[in-house]
Structure 1
């Protein structure tokens, strides 16, 4: 029998690891300093531009002239982690405007014999994750999974890593260090844009609430390439719905949009509800905000209308099913 837990509506967190992250035993290159970025506009300006934005993939008309140019609504990117600014792209992240390759490494432990084959765990997440991004990007982005066929044995028992949602830096460092060392003989990491470390869901030390993205200011180094972030997957089999799509959104510089209650028992959906996958992956039809699609390069300038001034403005939105240029009546 597989270990099945109750499905949790709690979104998965993301971890930012400061430069003193203890992975110094691994060879690496010195990280480059982040360039200075422009400051965020005033709160009033942010509220004005956000409320004035009508960003949607449904607008298929030709480019509109001023005052509908999208530039005034394009918030400037700041030094804030996962800034919502989109005037420039943060080159530390892969931009999903082309096909990207993702490796899935399946990790077993000495204290547990896996009950599930790697192919079964891969099928838990693909093609569903790839299908989500293909639909959300209107075919502009393809995520190509490359799951390993066999388990990779970790050197220590699963319980030794003290895996949990709020993971200690020391145990997290040990886990990543051991996982990379164990996988490196079997994986050419230079071939991949995204790295998933998938733990045996039946191992006694695996906490299914601990899935997250780990960001590294000091990247790990393998096969001549820097690994700046890793998606650590600790899901049950079967997993929470679209959990990997949510975590992969962080790999593309998207922030969490949910509200985490202080006691962990309140309403997690206060901010955006089910309107964006980064707020909740459990919506009836989860998708990404038009703003995020604009940021990721999936919306063109002609598909974004920035409405300014106090005069009434009429915009025509076309349903996706109609197709571009089709006149919709009724």
Structure 2
């Protein structure tokens, strides 16, 4: 089982929006040195919606090559098209990913039995550990607890990233899903509470900027040191909020650029961080412990 602080990494780009291999290598090295437990590549934070198929799979392959087996790599391979999700998942497996993350189909708003059939079909088609991704604020599509519980009985559907921040839902998922089914927080603000309720880690935007602190929160929970975990979490609250000033990953990319890790690139329809947020984010960055690479 993949556990701990899994950084949902940005996709480095240059000013013209082309993928930046050197920036990607720096970013991966930063996480390896800072103690990140795993990387999620080509997820929402990685601007997967703006990558073409070859860029998407090439990005996964490059991260796998950079990591060299030191930590697990989870590949975002979801789609609102079941056939495309199959193709992306198979290609990610062939590229060396350790698991796939599959977002709920967006825009189409399928019924629950359609969602079950979608994820079951991908699981049957591609023999790789698969993690569901529930983020209704972005997709307008929510996996019910009952549907997740049914899917948790399929052997290679091994977990769910839940980004609702709903702790009652977390309790129900822990209670009703199959033994060993992994629950990952997808909302940084509720990540600690999710882990205390039985989650095995978080897939984090905040870990882009403060990877060591996010990893230390998980380690503190693992050893039962709730006091230390709460202290660390409280110090990151302002960063959690700051990263949401504009649509993710706008603020995360701007901060990583200020840290010298990536170039100043993002793809339309997303745009570079608005000027009025610069001073606030710089103040947040300066207040973080050990924020420099």
Band the TM-score falls in, shorter-chain normalisation: under 0.3
Superposition TM-score, scaled by structure 1 size? 0.25
Superposition TM-score, scaled by structure 2 size? 0.28
Q: Which structure: larger Rg? A: 1
